[in-house]
Amino acid sequence: MKAYENFYINGEWVRSEGTGTMDVIDSATEEVIGRVPEGSAADVDAAVAAAKAAFETWSQTPVDVRAKYLRDIGAALAGRYDDIVDVITSEVGSPKAFAQMVQAGLSLGEWETFAKLVEGYAFEEQVGNSLVVREPIGVVGAITPWNYPLYLIICKVVPALAAGCTVVLKPSEVTPLNAYILAEVLDEVGLPKGVFNLVVGTGPEVGAAISGHPDVDMVSFTGSGRAGAEVTKAAAPTAKRVGLELGGKSANVVLDDADPTAVAMGAVFGCYINSGQTCSALTRLLVPESRKQEYIDAVLEEASKVGLVDPKADEPDLFHNLGPLSSKAHQERVRSYIQKGIDEGATLALGGPEQPEGFEKGFYVKPTVFTDVTPDMTIAQEEIFGPVLSILTYTDDDDAVAIANGTVYGLAGAVQSADVERAKGIARRLRTGQVDVNGAPFNTEAPFGGYKQSGNTRERGRWGLEEFLETKSIQLPV
């Protein structure tokens, strides 16, 4: 078991001011694999004070020096690749191949991406007699979730550091061990004291203290809508910037000329990725009424190939192997949604709410497919965050767009069609932050974020950097 007793504040490993500890549970074995301090508001005060003191120097550090730090950190983090994979397979339950390629793999590439980006970014431009300057916003409080724990930390920390901001990080208390690896790397590289600070704790204690702190200039939050609302409320009295990346109920719109086999593979992987614990997962499959049985049969055939695995086993198939969910509480939540789907009259075509056979231990949920789902059902409206696919039908393109846009969310979506131009036309009508056409690959340099209750921020690429910048106009004499 890996037990930590300290937080990383002002370039030092220091004892928490809190008195409690929190256990970290292996998602597959349900055993305790780690223990971390339970932080307090006093720990946040110390971390914010360190970040505030470091900001003046770090914000004035030349861009090329900041870029070199990013590259050095990325290289050092790559040296901990195996440790990251091992920790995330246990904390999150991601199968080893997925942890290698996605959880750890994506986390390593962002350092070079933002080093290049910041080196070429125009921080100043002349507009008439004004010099318009982009400057770092200040102290950033980063509050991150458990589903892609290290990558979503990095999506905030890297652009914030590149912009010249200092950071106080609160990772999820469910998956904090990967954040300690990052802190160890930053310490090893010699990032100046106070530029990065780590405090672990609960949302109501540490998250609220960060959100409401008068010396925190921005809060960047990824998580549930409910928690995002609490962050916004806490931040309101100080009028700080709040960046929210929240949930989704994304629709995969299948047009009537799409190939059923291609649709099936994309639909199943798009929904079940990371055991469904993905905010942009394509959890609603919209198929035309005129061809519904063809698409349903193809999807059920593909979904039946998906199996549950021990996350640490060498199972290379990214498309058909799922690990457990992140926690017992989350497993029970997802199962309650499956039962609600049954109770509300949807047809359970695959899976179900019971503990899977052969997995007496572990937070596993059966890969599940519902048919005969109507747009008003709970499973078609609320984010489940598990391996549960709802198949709905529509009559024509206008009906498909109306159903796709008919939730409070607007994070992602997809369109599948033999006619790319027709698909692009539907994509433009979807009220979401990103849309995939015919299974197009994920682009880490494109902006990511949502409409409506899916949030108000954009992460990744140039747009991610600009989230952490303020704009100043300096009027010059003519």
In this structure, the strands spanning 347-350 and 368-371 are: antiparallel
With beta carbons less than 8 A apart as the criterion, state whether 395 and 265 touch: no
245 is catalytic: yes
132-162 in b/e form (b: 16+ CB < 10 A) is eebebbbbbbbbbbbbbbbbbbbbbbbbbbb
Distance CA 450, CA 332 (A): 27
**Cβ neighbours of 40 (radius 10 Å):** 20
List the catalytic residue out of 38, 91, 173, 245.
245
Q: Is 271 a catalytic residue?
A: no
Among 155, 279, 383, 459, the one annotated catalytic: 279
Report which of 10, 12, 150 is spatially closest to residue 78, judged by C-alpha positions.
150
- Cβ atoms of 70 and 111 within 8 Å: the answer is yes
Q: Please give the DSSP secondary-structure letter assigned to residue 206.
A: I
| C-alpha to C-alpha distance for 478 and 472, rounded to whole angstroms | 18
Strand order of the β-sheet with 130-136 is 124-127, 130-136, 469-475
The total of other beta-carbon atoms located within 10 Å of residue 405's CB is: 17
Residues identified as active-site: 245, 279
